[in-house]
Amino acid sequence: MITTTMWAATWPRTAGIGMSSWLLNALLAGLAIAVVAGPLGSFVVWRRMAYFGDALAHASLLGIGLGLILGLPSGLTVVIVAALVALLLVALQGQRQLASDTLLGIISHGTLSIGVIMVTLVSEQSLPIESYLFGDILSVTEQDVLRLWALSIAALVLITVIWRPLLAATVHEDLARVEGVPVERVRLIFVMLLALMIAMAMKIVGVLLIASLLLIPAAAARRVARTPEQMAVLAAGLSCVAVVLGLGAALRWDLPAGPAVVAAAVMLFVLLFALTSRIMNTNKSY
């Protein structure tokens, strides 16, 4: 695994001729994830699906383990497993035997535990388990960057297409259904996009932190946005800022890059929360 120290050691040799290729690849890969995480994370916040996102993220490690065992590309198996788990969760939402948060917790921790066991047993000569849990953005290649941006652009186009019906179903599902919105189809597309985004972000921030990148910038943007569209754009912008700050902190202080990106997002949330709370208190008329 490429460490931040190894990465930083190459910086003086490349600073004179331009940005380090490792740094540029990491930055472009992080931005590709950030622009998709913004609008998808906004719907996660609106629909209160934080636990759903956690369950999908944890299930992605099971996809990695299956890929290693079967000798298939991990990206493919992660997408397949995440999509199957998403479909299972949607199908089980109407059951009454278990509360939804209990069911999500069982699936989330169960798939994570099985995935850790599989990866640990199979990947002795591969990346250590920490690379999957917390990401390894510094090992992103140019091919990874091209693939991520192609998927990000496709996802953004699809989000734009389903934006209005998905927003209507989020605000009032029954009313949207009466108005002719294909609620089930739109929900299915949305959870498939979530599964795709999680598979994309796995290498950037790791399976334990993917849901944080979805949730935190969107929660921060909600404090200041006045319309759903503003919130989605602002959430994407805050995600991009978090990527830049996190990578900068990782380079400067030799920190793990994935957790540093999430920590930067947390700091942005705290800052916006404090600023907006102060403005609201200042505007009080009593």
**DSSP characters over 27-89:** HHHHHHHHHHHHHHHHHHHHTT-HHHHHHHHHHHHHHHHHHHHHT--HHHHHHHHHHHHHHHH
Average the pLDDT over 129-150 and give the result: 82
pLDDT grade for 8, boundaries at 50, 70 and 90? very low
Tens of pLDDT, residues 80-129: 888 888 888 877 766 667 777 788 888 888 888 888 888 887 765 555 67
For domain 4-282, give the CATH superfamily.
ABC transporter involved in vitamin B12 uptake, BtuC (1.10.3470.10)
Tens of pLDDT, residues 33-80: 999 999 999 999 998 888 888 888 888 888 888 888 888 887 788 888
| Token reading at 64 | 């990695």
C-alpha 64/C-alpha 129 separation (Å) is: 11
